[in-house]
Amino acid sequence: MRRSLRWCVLGAVLVVSLLGGCAAAPPPSASTPASPSPSATAASPSASPTPTPSATPTPTPTPDPVAALTLEERVGQLFMVGTRATAASPATLAAVEDRHVGGVFLSGRSREGVAATADVVADFTALDHPEGAPLWVATDQEGGEVQVLQGRGFDAMPYGIRQADLSADQLRASAERWGRELADAGVTLDLAPVADIVTSEATRFDNPPVGGYGRQYGYDATTVTAKAGAFAEGMRAAGILPTFKHFPGLGHVTANTDTTADVVDTTVTADGPDVDVYRPLVEAGPSAVMVSSAIYDRIDGSGPAVFSPKVLNVLREQVGFDGAVFSDDLSAAVAVSAWTPAERAVDAISAGVDVVLVSAKPSVFPAMYDAVLAEAKSDPQFAAQVDAAAARVLAAKADMA
């Protein structure tokens, strides 16, 4: 059974139950027969000595890792901030050191290889981090045109649609090899694999963010489940936490949320295959899930999914996912440009997101962090959401420890 902070709650319940069973026995009533005298006991050869009850050890309560963090540290756990993959960005170093950021994202493209990447990572891991809250180091290592880390020690990864040509066993073995390369570089989390179902092979280029780049594993739920699941299993075997994206499905839109506002999906439903594919994927082992910034008319047409409690409720209640939920990038994506950076962070966490991704433009992070901290100090309900999100982040980190 994997280690998980989610078991702390069960442990606490067990402690309360055990302590409840340790109440002292009531004194004997007046009708209770008196115990025999020592002489009478000795005169009776059939009598056996009354055993002395052993003391029941008092269980040690399981510590709450969230309670050990200050509010400032809890808020920091809810952000992942980008840095260039080739050098530690000063703004991101400051984010980790001054605002307790829980994760960094290696962005751009690097051809400098494993050893050079490990040196960049070491600049961040050498900083102080809250007790029990190790730093997540993430990147986009999907394959094809979406492979941040390259060079000596990193294999060239094929496009997702070409990975799908491999058998599940072959893909699992390849992903484990790619994951070990990431681990050698100090990476602990991969924002992959893509779990989007693209409409069809004939129309794939009508879907710019996924099909246009060949990031998809296929065009039906069965294929996507098998191949995305194999990739994730290989990553987990290498000690890397996989991230399925982009919930509830980005395979049918006709524009890219990175470069276009008001990207609307009219295909995905809460009970359709695009959502259903996530259930077996997240049940197979530890993982994270990334939520899209598109608008889903048939679930909640009021705004981007990343700000929608209805969309997050589908993931939590219908899919049954209790792990860490990431936003797509909220620092520079045009899809969220109508909101200030502060509003993006607060609205995403209010909707149920656990980790706000600030990958492309780390300079907006301080305003995001300060807004979340201020909201947590002024609104007890929001503060409870911060605590719950921090608990899920710490649990996800412990799952892969």
CA 66/CA 392 separation, integer angstroms: 10
Across 93-115, average pLDDT: 98
Beta-bridged to residue 300, according to DSSP, are: 296
pLDDT computed for residue 11 by the predictor: 38
Say if residue 13's pLDDT is above 60: no
Say if residue 50's pLDDT is above 60: no
Lowest mean pLDDT among 2-11, 169-178, 302-311: 2-11
Helix (H) or strand (E) holding 138: strand 136-139
Average pLDDT, rounded, for the chain: 89
pLDDT computed for residue 59 by the predictor: 65
Beta-bridged to residue 82, according to DSSP, are: 105
CA 277/CA 196 separation, integer angstroms: 9
Contacts with 28 (C-beta within 8 Å, 6 or more apart), sequence order: none
pLDDT bin (cut points 50, 70, 90) of residue 63 is: confident
Best CA proximity match to 5, nearest among 64, 59, 61: 64
End-to-end distance of the chain based on CA atoms, in angstroms? Answer: 13
**3 close to 65: Cβ distance less than 8 angstroms:** no
The CATH number of the domain covering residues in 71-399: 3.20.20.300
Q: How many CB atoms lie within 10 A of CB 339?
A: 17
CA 281/CA 218 separation, integer angstroms: 15
Across 89-95, average pLDDT: 97
pLDDT bin (cut points 50, 70, 90) of residue 230 is: very high
CA 343/CA 341 separation, integer angstroms: 5
Taking only the tens place, the pLDDT of each residue in 260-283 is: 999 999 999 999 999 999 999 999
pLDDT bin (cut points 50, 70, 90) of residue 60 is: low
Beta-bridged to residue 242, according to DSSP, are: 190
- φ, ψ for residue 387, nearest 5 deg: -60, -45
Beta-bridged to residue 271, according to DSSP, are: none
**218 close to 274: Cβ distance less than 8 angstroms:** no
Q: How far is CA 83 from the centre of its chain?
A: 20
Sign of the alpha-carbon dihedral angle for 343, 345, 346, 350:
positive
Taking only the tens place, the pLDDT of each residue in 360-398 is: 999 999 999 999 999 999 999 999 999 999 999 999 999
Angle between helices 365-378 and 90-99 (to 10 degrees): 20
Whole-model pTM? 0.86
SS3 246: strand
CA 203/CA 208 separation, integer angstroms: 10
pLDDT bin (cut points 50, 70, 90) of residue 252 is: very high
Residues making up the chain, counted from first to last = 401
Taking only the tens place, the pLDDT of each residue in 14-46 is: 333 333 333 333 333 333 334 333 333 333 444
pLDDT computed for residue 6 by the predictor: 47
Taking only the tens place, the pLDDT of each residue in 196-225 is: 999 999 999 999 999 999 999 999 999 999
pLDDT bin (cut points 50, 70, 90) of residue 233 is: very high
Q: List the structure tokens of 247.
A: 């919930």
Q: What angle do CA 257, 319, 177 make, to 5 degrees?
A: 70
Q: List the structure tokens of 203.
A: 């129309």
pLDDT computed for residue 95 by the predictor: 98
Would you call the peptide bond into 248 cis, given omega within 30 degrees of 0 as the criterion? yes
Helix (H) or strand (E) holding 72: helix 71-76
Helix (H) or strand (E) holding 46: none
- Decide which of 36 and 186 is more confident: 186
